[in-house]
Chain A
């Protein structure tokens, strides 16, 4: 249980086991809670103004779920369960999208007891592909994917370059941040925001922002 665990090591310093994954999910919950108002405000411009609240509810559900799972639950199983909880608990499109990403990552983790950097990169790829398939979106559509795809690409590149965990995390987050920022001038092509047409340009996509926040939490930031 994250609340009772000793301070876990940052996720990217070494391979991530189930306990450190639980700690990362707890960080994600706190981060989302802290930024829920800002996310909702962003969503009020482009969507239906509930993104922060919805995610906050979702990650609280995740926290409750994780607390109820036995300690020996493998990371892959944990992520799949988390994915299903997000699909069920988060209203709006972001629940199924983040849920799909978690489930896909969980499948890719298989029965591994720990997640090393190469597996993490593969899981992030799987999460990205799953989210793109489910949302029928591509980079540039002003969605979560604009943050997630460059992050996944950066992590894979870092692994291919045999980078250490810390520098891989740095380059991944840097790419995610740039991707998130790239959504500001974009015209939305997916979701409710596409109704706004040209008027959607000039605002950050709330999904792209929340995705960065979740990646930061998972990376131990």
Chain B
């Protein structure tokens, strides 16, 4: 080999080497670019993952994901539709840019695909298919090509996105359910109290807050025994707390009666206790308690009604039957015959009066009272009553104390006549024979205040708030065995209230034995204006009786 050969060979070799180096450099550059692109894609995926992991509602998530995917794909406009497992149509959840030409709904993913077939301007990406389809459409505003690497990121992330959207839907469903449950708990009329495993209150619903006189903030964190005051109210002992037992055993208690300390004293309650999980491994318990006092009062009224009505109906019927049997079985003297028939007539009248009272009370409860108000002189209504009483001779016991210049009242005369008839009838019935009943009236603008005083057995103070409730009869009246239904005062109260007034029961102001019933009626508007220029608002306080009881006014 000569030097010249070597030089020639060297030149060829160098050229080959240089070619090889250039190829290797190109290869290295390509590998570097690929690695960069791969790194870019990975980073984009990472950012997308961070985005979907940050929670939020499906709509918020859809908006953020669409923004990110549109950016990744170098698009300018886009839209995203979501479906769910309910089979409802896919809904447009978010859009970017001027995409008003895109439909709000697709019946299903197949319909979306068919529609996409006619829209080559859009890149349609199905991120997830049935049963919870998620579809994204992206386009570049000027028709340029989208970034395929970005599209690839979207496709690579589709499972993650599907999971994220399913999670968002689930969170929303749970939140809705939570709100619904909270509405039920907050709207319940029963006390609902929840405690943690240390029996400290974690929740007290508004009904419980009202009954116990505590705010939720005041109740939360306190031991249940302290907040509910079961032991102090005469319920169970703290050591036998049913909430603690429920937590300890993990078993519900179906029904238990106890007592809690209410704002106005002990309240008898009954309810159930159920265990629950507060967190993995942690127990809590919930009690749903019903205030039994209202139910018990209702039950007492019902029992009173049954006893009264059955007694009041049975007694005259038994007497009628006795007189009728006697008339049928024996040949009586004409005078005795007539006497028996008159007694039967009296008893049937009593029965008729009782039944009409029951019907009146029922109507008062069922129908709105329609009053036919008209200007009338109170004295004329008393005079009419006087006339009615003359038939039985009771008129001589009725005394009146009415100023001659009483202004007219604006009332339904027949209803007020009924009030007077009932109240004066009661006064006559429960007072000794021959004792007077006095009807007085004074002006207490804008009201006429009427007092009916008797010398009867009086109404015990403890019964005063209740005597104007249906079928309630004061204990001294029940013991007196004087017949009655317990409806008269109730009917009077309702009729007075329908006129805007109030009815109170108290002691006589002169300190004598007996009762003063006071009620108010509205004066005629013109007279009212002339005297005081005011309209009736709240009924005036009862005059002359320090222990008068306002009856449900």
Q: CB-CB contacts of A186-201 with B at 8 A, as 1s and 0s?
A: 0001111011010000
A136: chain B residues at CB < 8 Å are 40, 44, 71-72, 150
Residue from the list A48, A134, A195, A197 in contact with B43, Cβ < 8 A: A134
- Tell me, rounded to whole Å, the shortest Cβ–Cβ distance linking B148 to chain A: 14
Interface status of A135 (Cβ within 8 A of chain B): yes
Which segment, of B48-56, B248-256, B293-301, B323-331, faces chain A? B48-56
A166 at the interface (CB under 8 A from B): no
A194 touching B64, Cβ below 8 Å: yes
Inter-chain CB contacts under 8 Å: number: 43
Question: A220 at interface (Cβ–Cβ under 8 A)?
Answer: no
Asked if A133 lies at the interface with its beta carbon under 8 angstroms from chain B, I say yes
B345, CB-defined interface residue at 8 Å: no
User: Which listed residue (B39, B68, B71, B72) contacts A134, Cβ 8 A?
Assistant: B39
Q: Which partner residue on chain B sits nearest A93 by CB separation? A: B47
Interface string of B154-168 (1 = CB under 8 A from A): 000000000000000
A134 & B40 in contact (Cβ 8 Å cutoff): yes
Give every chain A residue within 8 A of B40 (Cβ-Cβ): 133-134, 136
B9 sits at the interface (CB 8 A): no
Q: Give the distance in Å from the alpha carbon of A195 to the alpha carbon of B54 in the complex.
A: 8
Give the CA-CA distance A80 to B39 in the complex, in Å: 15
- Asked if B63 and A135 make an inter-chain contact with CB atoms under 8 angstroms apart, the answer reads no
Whether a CB of chain A sits under 8 angstroms from the CB of B67 is yes
Indicate if B17 sits at the interface (CB-CB under 8 A): no
Q: A189-B71, A194-B64 known; A135 and B51 CB under 8 Å?
A: no
**Contact, CB under 8 Å: A195 / B64:** yes
> Which residue on chain B has the smallest CB distance to residue A197?
B63
Cβ of B64: which chain A residues have Cβ within 8 Å of it?
194-195
Q: How many residues of A contact B (CB 8 A)?
A: 16
CB pair B47–A191 under 8 Å, yes or no, is yes
Docked CA distance A189–B67 (Å): 8
A93:B50 contact, CB within 8 angstroms: yes
Tally chain B residues at the interface, Cβ within 8 Å.
Answer: 19
Closest to A195 in B: B64
Residues of B within 8 A of A190 (CB): 47, 71
Residues in B neighbouring A135, C-beta threshold 8 A: 43, 47
A211 vs B63: C-alpha distance when bound (angstroms): 28
Q: Which residues of B contact A192 (CB under 8 A)?
A: 50-51, 54
Quick one: which of B25-61 are within 8 Å of A by CB?
36, 39-40, 43-44, 46-47, 50-51, 54, 56, 60
Q: Does A96 reach chain B (CB closer than 8 Å)?
A: yes
Q: Which chain A residues border B68 with CB–CB below 8 Å?
A: 194
8 Å CB contacts to A: which residues of B395-427?
A: none
Beta-carbon nearest neighbor of B64 in chain A: A195
Tell me the complex Cα distance, A195–B57, Å: 11
Q: Which of B2-20 touch A at CB < 8 Å?
A: none
**Which residues of chain A from 77 to 106 have a CB within 8 Å of any chain B CB?**
92-93, 96, 100
Distance, CA A135 to CA B39, complexed state (A): 11
Chain B min CB distance to A189 (Å): 7
Residue of A nearest to B147 (CB): A136
Residue of A nearest to B55 (CB): A195
Q: Which residues of A contact B44 (CB under 8 A)?
A: 136
| Minimal Cβ-Cβ distance residue in B for A138 | B71
The proximity string for A residues 164-208 relative to B, scoring 1 for CB distances below 8 Å and 0 otherwise, is: 000000000000000000000000011110110100000000000
Q: Which of A92, A96, A134, A195 contacts B51 (CB 8 A)?
A: A195
**A197 CB contacts on chain B under 8 angstroms:** 63
Report chain A residues within 8 Å CB of B46.
93, 96
Residues of B within 8 A of A133 (CB): 36, 40
CA distance A170 to B68 in the complex (A): 36
Report the minimum CB–CB distance from B261 to chain A (whole Å).
45
How many Å from the CB of A121 to the closest CB on chain B?
22
Contact A48 B54 (CB under 8 A): yes
Contact with B along A130-165 (1 / 0, CB 8 A): 000111100000000000000000000000000000
B56 touches A195 (CB 8 A): yes
Compute how far the CA of A191 lies from the CA of B36 in the bound complex, rounded to whole angstroms.
Answer: 20
Cα–Cα, bound, A133→B54 (Å): 24
List of A residues within 8 angstroms of B36 by Cβ: 133
Report the bound CA distance from A48 to B55 in whole Å. 12
CB closest chain-B residue, reference A97: B43
Question: What is the bound-complex CA distance between A192 and B51, given in angstroms?
Answer: 5
- Give the chain B neighbours of A100 by CB distance below 8 A: 39
Cβ-defined partner of A194 (8 Å) among B39, B43, B51, B150: B51
A96 touches B43 (CB 8 A): yes
**Of residues A93, A135, A194, which shows the largest number of chain B Cβ atoms within 10 Å of its Cβ?**
A194
**B51: chain A residues within 8 A (beta carbon):** 191-192, 194-195
Contact between chains at B50 and A191 (CB < 8 Å) = yes
Q: In the complex, A194 Cα to B150 Cα: how many Å?
A: 18
- How far does the alpha carbon of A135 sit from the alpha carbon of B47 in the complex, in Å? 9
B72 shortest CB reach to chain A, Å? 6
Q: How far is the CA of A136 from the CA of B54 in the complex (A)?
A: 20
- Give the distance in Å from the alpha carbon of A93 to the alpha carbon of B36 in the complex: 16
| Bound form: Cα–Cα A95–B36 in Å | 16
Provide the bound-state CA to CA distance between A92 and B43, in Å. 10
- Docked Cα-Cα span, A183 to B310, in Å, equals 87
* Interchain nearest-CB distance for A199 vs B (Å): 11
CB under 8 Å from chain B, chain A span 94-135: 96, 100, 133-135
Closest to B42 in A: A96
Minimum CB distance partner of B60 in chain A: A195
Smallest distance from the beta carbon of B62 to chain A beta carbons, Å? 11
B67, A194: Cβ atoms under 8 Å?
A: yes
Which residues of B are found within 8 Å of A92, using beta-carbon distances?
Answer: 50
Look across to chain B and name the residue whose beta carbon is closest to the beta carbon of A104: B36
Taking the closest CB of chain B, its distance from the CB of A16, in whole angstroms, is 26
Residue of A nearest to B51 (CB): A192
Bound Cα distance from A62 to B505, whole angstroms: 92
Bound CA span A190–B47, Å: 9
User: How far is A48 from B67 in the complex, measured between Cα atoms in Å?
Assistant: 19
A residues in contact with B60, CB < 8 Å? 195
The distance from the CB of A160 to the nearest CB of chain B, in whole angstroms, is 28
**Chain B interfacial positions (CB closer than 8 Å to A):** 36, 39-40, 43-44, 46-47, 50-51, 54, 56, 60, 63-64, 67-68, 71-72, 150
What 4 A-B pairs have minimum CB-CB distances, sorted nearest first? A195-B64, A96-B43, A192-B54, A134-B43
Q: A191-B47, A192-B50, A194-B51 are in contact. List 16 more A-B contacts (CB 8 A).
A: A48-B50, A48-B54, A93-B50, A96-B46, A133-B40, A134-B39, A134-B43, A135-B43, A135-B47, A136-B40, A136-B150, A190-B47, A190-B71, A191-B50, A195-B51, A197-B63
Chain A residues close to B by CB (< 8 Å): 48, 92-93, 96, 100, 133-136, 189-192, 194-195, 197
Q: Can you list 20 contacts pairing A with B, beta carbon distance less than 8 Å?
A: A48-B54, A93-B46, A93-B47, A96-B39, A100-B39, A133-B40, A134-B39, A134-B43, A135-B43, A136-B40, A136-B71, A136-B150, A190-B71, A191-B50, A191-B51, A192-B51, A194-B51, A194-B68, A195-B56, A195-B60
